[in-house]
Amino acid sequence: MTAAHAAPLDLANARMKLARDLLLAGALTADELGFALGVQPDSATRIIRELRESGLPVQEWGWDRYHIVYPAGRVCTHVGCGTVLRISNPSDRCTVHGGGDYSDG
Ligand SMILES: [Zn+2]
Domain harbouring 49, CATH code? 1.10.10.10
> 85 C-alpha vs ligand 1 centroid, how far in Å?
8
Question: Are residue 45 and residue 18 in the same domain, yes or no?
Answer: yes
Q: Rounded CA gap, 97 and 58, in Å?
A: 25
Question: Are residue 15 and residue 58 in the same domain, yes or no?
Answer: yes
- Look up the domain containing 14 and give its range: 2-68
Question: Are residue 61 and residue 82 in the same domain, yes or no?
Answer: no
- Convert the pLDDT of each residue in 25-42 to its tens digit: 899 999 999 999 999 999
Query: Does 81 score more than 70 pLDDT?
Result: yes
- Convert the pLDDT of each residue in 47-70 to its tens digit: 999 999 999 999 999 889 999 999
Number of domains in the chain: 2
pTM: 0.75
Cβ proximity of 78 and 93 under 8 Å: yes
List residues, by chain if needed, whose CB lies under 5 Å from ion ligand 1.
76, 78, 81, 83, 94, 97
